[in-house]
A = this chain, B = another copy of it.
Amino acid sequence: MLTILGQNFINGARSALGQSLHVSLDATTGEVLPYAFYQATEDEVDAACCAAQDAFSVYRQLSPARRAEFLDAIADELDGLNDDFVAIVCRETGLPAARIQGERGRTGGQLRLFAQVLRRGDFLGARIDLALPERQPLRRADIRQYRIGVGPVAVFGASNFPLAFSTAGGDTASALAAGCPVVFKAHSGHMATADVVANAITRAAERTGMPKGVFNMIFGSGVGEGLVKHPAIRGVGFTGSLTGGNALSRMAAERPDPIPVFAEMSSINPVIILPGALNARSATVAKELANSVTMGVGQFCTKPGLVMGVRSAAFSAFLDELKVQMGAQPPQTMLNAGGLKSYIGGVEHLGAHPGVAHLAGQAQGKKHAQAQLFKADVSLLIDGDELLQEEVFGPATVVVEVADDAELGRALLALRGQLTATLIGEPSDLEQYQWLVPLLEEKVGRILVNGYPTGVEVCDAMVHGGPYPATSDARGTSVGTLAIDRFLRPVCYQDYPDALLPEALRNANPLGLRRLVNGEWSSAVF
């Protein structure tokens, strides 16, 4: 059996000063699980942030290779968790064991990928402008730049990925890779899972000799504000609702010293079905699309929430097929009762709008989510109605039929920022609709062709981000190795003695980096 103490993780130890206790529920049965979690007190929030601050001065000075050992060790610890762990995650989230096993693999894979980034060293951004002693009218100094961690980072995990976007997820992995200790706010939806994962991280930290405060985790409701406003915290990673992300962004902006927030929030992920594809493979697309909408009970940030096409007999036939597919979906268990309630509310809200018709989907019960298909008038998008812009978290999607290409352009222009946009088309479609791409580039972080946005590959080239409200800062990604950039800042040294420079910038190039030397990339030693 796993030991789940439910105490806060502070400075490498456990702490339970709070009087108030929280419980975790079985997502399927609603049963209370046999664990209690201690609400962090104000003092404990402070202690966690101070521990991260103390750890920062040591941790950020460790070589990238040492930090890579730590990340690899976390991945190994996750791999080593047994079936009891998987069972607990399944109970807390209602997700099937195969999905949890896959998500664990992905979470470990992400940690190991960041370890590779650390060993590659390009994230350091080493740049050297050598002195020009003879330059007229003034000598140029020797100037060398690289990037260091911003400082301790507060991370808020997501309900829908209890592993990959949570305790040891992408925000934590990228912050730790950048040299930033983490204070993690455990998600109330899977606190037992968080406890086990935080223990795994703590073991990895001990095993690889990391400073004690490198990872801290607090439980409780309302502790986020104290965390984001704590002077030691220098950045925030968040995955969750638009309301939650906006609130954290506001708190961070109102600090005496504002800090950056990277919140991944809300996206309806338009899928545009082009005419050639409708003619060639309408039924297949309908089936694949329904599968993407309902996969994981529609609880993905990248679930297609908007399906668009130009009015035609073929599009009508496609819709008929999509109705059949969506109507045939079985009821499914959502992550928690709050999520189900919010889904039911969202579906009712859509159905009540006079510009929206219900096309398919069985009557919604009180225990499970039913897949639902709606069709909305394009004027809702073009006239700026907020209804369609709002993400409905769950297995529902909305079709918007446009009169012609011009209206398609207008409707897309009216969209807010998105994580993804997808084109389903034959090669001739893609040539003909090439004009869509620049428009989509300005709206989204990822453009897919003939795929479905659910399923976010963890790799160097992934962008899981996009203009507001998809995220709070379009310049970041929360999946893939570029995520490390969010938590780095440049520092430069002018005329500094070589022996005292950080290794990345020394003449002898002991880390073997490619560096930008006098305007050219080079591995030169000098």
Contact = CB atoms under 8 A, between A and B. Distances in A.
B258 A249 contact: yes
A120 B519 contact: yes
A482 B143 contact: no
Given A151-B442, A431-B500, A519 B465 contact: no
Interface stretch (A70-78, A81-89, A488-496): A488-496
A260 B128 CA distance: 28
Interface stretch (A33-41, A281-289, A346-354, A455-463): A455-463
Interface stretch (A203-211, A328-336, A443-451): A443-451
A141 B448 CA distance: 10
A474 B145 contact: no
B151 A492 contact: no
Interface in A420-441: 427, 430-431, 434, 437-438, 441
Contact of A461 (B258, B416, B459, B492): B492
A438 B57 contact: yes
A449 B495 contact: yes
Contacts of A151: 442
A134 interface: no
Contacts of A102: 137
A489 B490 CA distance: 18
- Closest CB pairs A-B (n = 5): A253-B253, A463-B492, A145-B461, A448-B494, A127-B461
A61 B441 CA distance: 11
Nearest to A460: B127
A437 B269 CA distance: 47
9 contacts: A57-B442, A127-B482, A129-B462, A145-B463, A257-B417, A258-B472, A434-B500, A448-B495, A474-B489
A519 B116 contact: yes
A477 B490 contact: yes
A489 B476 CA distance: 7
- Of A416, A445, A450, A460, the most chain B CB neighbours within 10 A belong to A460
A462 B79 CA distance: 43
Interface string A384-416: 000000000000000000000000000000001
Nearest to A143: B461
A497 B441 CA distance: 16
A512 B343 CA distance: 49
Contacts of A122: 516, 521
Interface string A83-124: 000000000000000000010000000000000100010100
Given A128-B461, A141-B451, A474-B489, A494 B260 contact: no
B468 A490 contact: no
Interface string A489-526: 11111111100100000000000001010010100000
In the complex, which range does the number of interface residues on chain A fall in? 35 or more
Given A140-B457, A445-B492, 8 more contacts: A102-B137, A143-B459, A253-B253, A441-B491, A445-B489, A447-B492, A449-B495, A514-B521
Contact of A437 (B234, B259, B500): B500
Contacts of A22: none
A417 to B, nearest CB: 7
Nearest to A488: B475
Interface in A255-290: 257-260
Contacts of A449: 493-497
Given A434-B500, A468-B257, A493 B129 contact: no
A398 to B, nearest CB: 22
Nearest to A126: B461
A158 interface: no
A169 interface: no
- Of A144, A150, A459, A496, the most chain B CB neighbours within 10 A belong to A459
A309 interface: no
A475 B486 CA distance: 8
Given A57-B438, A438-B61, A482-B145, A491 B445 contact: yes
Contacts of A460: 127, 129, 145, 516, 519
A311 to B, nearest CB: 25
B462 A145 contact: yes
Contacts of A431: 500
A469 interface: yes
A1 interface: no
B258 A450 contact: no
Contacts of A434: 500
Contacts of A516: 122, 460-461
Contacts of A125: 482
A361 interface: no
A473 interface: yes
A348 to B, nearest CB: 26
